[in-house]
Amino acid sequence: MQSQTETLYRNYCDKAFVAEHLSQLKTYLFVGSTSIYIVLAKPDTRELAAFSTIELTAHSNQLSLSALKQVLVGLPYDISQSEQVFIYLLQPKYTLVPEALFVAEKASALYHILHSPEKFHTVQHARTPFGILLYAAHDIQMGTLRLALPGAEIMHSMQCMLPALSKQQATSGKLQLVLHEHYMDVLCFDKQALRYCNRFPFESDTDIIYFVLAISEALRLNQEKLEICLSGSVTSTSPLLPLMRKYIPSVVFMKRPDGYSYPAAFRELQDQQYVPFLTPLLCE
C-alpha cells in the first residue's frame, strides 16, 4: 500500500457560483477518522455548490489547531466565510435509547453498557425522532473544532442521517447500508418507523456479506425479496457488488434527491458516493 505523505483533496464545485454566493451558503462538514467531507449548499433555493473530500495524513483527533486550519486553507473556498457551518462527527460509536428510559444524569452509564470507556472522551446526548442518541466525543478534537470554526454547531452524523434516510425509504423491509472506509451503518425502516440501526466495523467484503445476512435473518426479512440499498464508499466497479449479488436478490444504489440543482462537476461522481453527505439538506 502506498503511504500517504500529504493531504489529498478532491473538489467538485461550481467555482463561479461559490465565489459569488459564499456568504449565503451553508457548510456541512463531516469529520471521519482520516477523512473530511464537505458540502456547500444554498438550502432555500435547493442549490448544491460544492462537494469536497480530504484524505488526512493523521487521525483527525490528533490534529492540532494549526494543523486543522492548514488543512482547511487547502480548500478552494474559505468555509469560515459561509453563512453557517454545521459539523457532523462520523466516527464515534453510538447508542440509541428510548426517550422514556433516558435520564440525562445517567447518560454516561447508559452509553457504557455497550461501549467501553475511552480516555479523553465525554458522552454526549441528542434527541432524534427515534430516541435519544448517545455518543462519546473526543474532548481535544471538540475543542479544536470549536476554535477553528467558532459558532459552528457540532453533532453526530446520525442526527441527520436517521430522519433523512427514513424519508427515503421506498418500501418496507429494505436494508440501508452506508459504507465508510472501515465500518458501515445498517438501517431498516418500516413505514418511516425505525426497525433496526447499528454500526459495524469490517475488514473485508465478506464481513459485509456476513453482517447483512445475519441482520436480515434476525429481522426475519423475506430472503427471496431482500433488497439492499447501498451508499457511501462504494462504486459500480467495486468487487463487493458481484459478491453481494451472489447472496442477495436485489442490490441497488441510493439515488440523489430530486428537486436540487447540482454542479456539472458532480458528474465525475456516482450518486451514492455523496448522497450520505446531503442528508442534512433533507432534514431542512
Q: Which residue in this structure is represented by grid cell 490528533? A: 62
pLDDT at position 170 is 57
Question: Residues 141, 60: contact at Cβ < 8 Å?
Answer: yes
Listed in order, strand segments (DSSP E) in the chain are 8-13, 26-31, 35-42, 47-55, 84-89, 94-97, 121-128, 131-138, 153-156, 174-179, 183-190, 193-201, 227-232, 250-253
Alpha-carbon distance of 250 to 261, in angstroms, equals 29
* pLDDT tens readout for residues 141-169: 999 999 999 999 999 999 999 999 888 75
Average pLDDT score over the chain: 92
DSSP output for 71-119: HHHTSSS-GGGSSEEEEEE-SS-EEEE-GGG--GGGHHHHHTTTS---T
Residues 12, 17, 21, 22: is their CA dihedral positive or negative?
A: positive
* pLDDT tens readout for residues 233-282: 999 999 999 999 999 999 999 999 889 999 999 999 999 999 999 999 98
* Grid cell of 45 as nine digits: 433555493
Question: Residues 21, 44: contact at Cβ < 8 Å?
Answer: no
Alpha-carbon distance of 157 to 59, in angstroms, equals 18
- Whole-model pTM: value is 0.93
Q: Which range among 141-145, 169-173, 223-227 shows the weakest confidence by mean pLDDT?
A: 169-173
Exposed, middle or buried: residue 101 (CB in 10 Å: 0-12, 13-18, 19+)? Answer: exposed
